[in-house]
Chain A
């Protein structure tokens, strides 16, 4: 009952004209960023985050904007998957398998509308999931001490290394680089300057915005140079635009199953929209594809991954909001955005800033309705954006990114650091080092160190406190299993085993 009252208050926040406008703008930008091949949610959120701050938006408006962009990307990614056979973002890879064949058969309109609908269902199921589960999780997490928190963060890293890549060592390496970068600057406990090289610009640490833009904008652009796509294969004949009731009924149970599973996958740290869509597609293929039509333009094969990637993206807000430990790169960037406002997400957020949390959740409901409207009747507008050439797009991205970085401190040093980090990130990504763990490490680094030091202060230096409670032991055990099980499975599967696809 209390939850319902909070949710109503949240709708009060969400329905304010400014926040409504921001949700609409975010939804639009998100869809655009999502459909552009090469740019995904993490890039969109990273580039907009400093701008929102520079525009002096209040924290809840800023968060609503970023959340709308994130969810919007999961909608938008399908458009280029279906029309161009090139996924707009990593979560939409599976959508191309049946979406493009459908488009080639002259059913592009139906594919676009049914996938928008299943995206909507997925997001809705997951947002209801947040309403139901997040307060419970937050309440449980209130009992966490520093030792449990330290264990929880190690668990998050274990998940991201174990579940995300086929190169867990490189994921771990990325996390360590991020953690190390977070050590730069003044150590507030002791007044010692670390790794600053005596440079006054670094005494405050490396700015979060600089890292995020360098890693997700500059390096992305350098990668786009190699992987540019032409819009030559673009399907322009869309045919009937709206799906009919029979098609909706045909996809209904698959969509619902994918939504629920996607939410569960999204809540887990490490596994995001990409894993969720691949997993549910494989699941449904095994479950219902008796005639072997998946992959040849089966309408259910379009609905399933879209429902799953949306519900996973929405579900990934749960650990960030309730535990203060983001489970994905994109939510890690959002947590950094909140840090700009001196807000630390975590279980206390629900009691201390109910307007922020519930305003965000209510806005997610509204953003989904806006997105459904944008993505069914107005989808034609977005397909035109696919024709924007890269020679105009890329300088635009660079300009906006630099404005965002410059807005924080107005120094040339930050811009130069942005370029240096971008080139470094490019070299790492070329060698298969994923960036999501790096950003997670950078965001969690200070919290991790503080919790470790606080725990050891409580026990006066006795390390046994780290395994001193059932919760901590449980977290350590799960973390170890997450690391060992995939490794063992791969070892057993041997050389003949299937190689998992990885997110770029």
Chain B
């Protein structure tokens, strides 16, 4: 069943790609093959493989069997929030905030996850910033840690 869904999504994507590619024409062309041909070729391939999956799906395979949906959703949400707040709050704070739900989803108690986040956030900040010379966002803690 999930093969059919995947295949349909591919066919749809291929159609959208082909439609979007129509407009990709160079104002002045110096070559026989313009910017349109390759994406179109790929769209055809994508559409055909999608169609194959719709017509001949693998049977008896439960792709999403046993997925811990609650934990997965928690992790996706935490990571999404992490991405959004990474620059705003700075690495150290954002990491602490991310480590709490993710650590708990991976079996830690809230105390463990919080402590882990604290060590990771502060420790990694100094390792990367001072030791490895990687520019780190400090966000709202910039008055403490410097940077921006």
State whether A172 and B49 are in contact (beta carbons under 8 Å apart), knowing that A180-B17, A225-B105 are contacts in the complex: yes
Residues of A within 8 A of B99 (CB): 395, 399
User: Using an 8 Å CB-CB cutoff, how does the interface string of B1-42 with A read, 1 for contact, 0 for none?
Assistant: 011001000100000010011001111011111110111001
CA distance A217 to B33 in the complex (A): 37
Within 8 A of B (CB), among A158-194: 167, 169-170, 172-173, 176-177, 179-180, 183, 187, 189-192, 194
Known: A419-B80, A431-B63. A176 touches B45 (CB 8 A): yes
- Cβ-defined partner of B120 (8 Å) among A167, A176, A399, A448: A399
Number of interface residues of A (CB under 8 A): 65
Counting CB contacts under 8 A, is A415 at the interface?
yes
Q: Return chain A residues, CB-CB under 8 Å to B33.
A: 452-453, 456-457, 461
Those of B52-71 within 8 Å (CB) of chain A: 52-53, 58, 61, 63-64, 66-68, 71
Indicate whether A422 reaches chain B with its CB closer than 8 angstroms: yes
Take A431-B3, A452-B38 as given contacts and tell me if A395 and B68 are in contact as well, using a CB distance cutoff of 8 Å: no
A453 touches B80 (CB 8 A): no
Contact residue among A396, A418, A431, A461 (Cβ-Cβ distance under 8 Å from B6): A431
Note all chain A residues with C-beta closer than 8 A to B116.
Answer: 391-392, 395
Q: Of B35, B52, B87, B106, which one neighbours A192 at CB under 8 angstroms? A: B35
Q: Is the CB of A453 within 8 A of B86?
A: no
Closest partner residue, chain A, to B6 (CB atom): A431
What is the CB-to-nearest-CB distance from A76 to chain B, in angstroms, rounded to a whole number? 21
Known contacts A395-B98, A460-B32; A225/B20 CB under 8 A: no
Closest to B78 in A: A398
A51 interfacial by beta-carbon distance below 8 Å: yes
Q: In this complex, what residue of B is CB-closest to A418?
A: B83
Are A226 and B134 also in contact (CB < 8 A) when A169-B52, A189-B35 are? no
CB contact under 8 A between A391 and B107, given known A177-B46, A419-B80: yes
Binding site secondary structure of chain A: helix
Interface size of B as a range: 35 or more
CA A394 – CA B52 in complex, angstroms? 37
Beta-carbon contacts under 8 Å, B77-118 to A: 79-80, 82-84, 86-88, 91, 95, 98-99, 102-108, 112-113, 116-117
Alpha-carbon distance A390/B116, docked complex (angstroms): 11
Chain A residues with a Cβ under 8 A of chain B? 51, 54-56, 167, 169-170, 172-173, 176-177, 179-180, 183, 187, 189-192, 194-195, 218, 221-222, 224-226, 228, 389-396, 398-400, 402-403, 406-407, 410-412, 415-416, 418-419, 422-423, 428, 430-433, 448-449, 452-453, 456-457, 460-461
- 17 additional contacts (CB under 8 A) given A222-B75, A226-B67, A391-B107: A54-B135, A170-B53, A173-B49, A176-B45, A180-B46, A183-B42, A189-B35, A228-B107, A389-B112, A391-B102, A391-B112, A399-B120, A403-B136, A415-B87, A416-B80, A416-B84, A430-B64
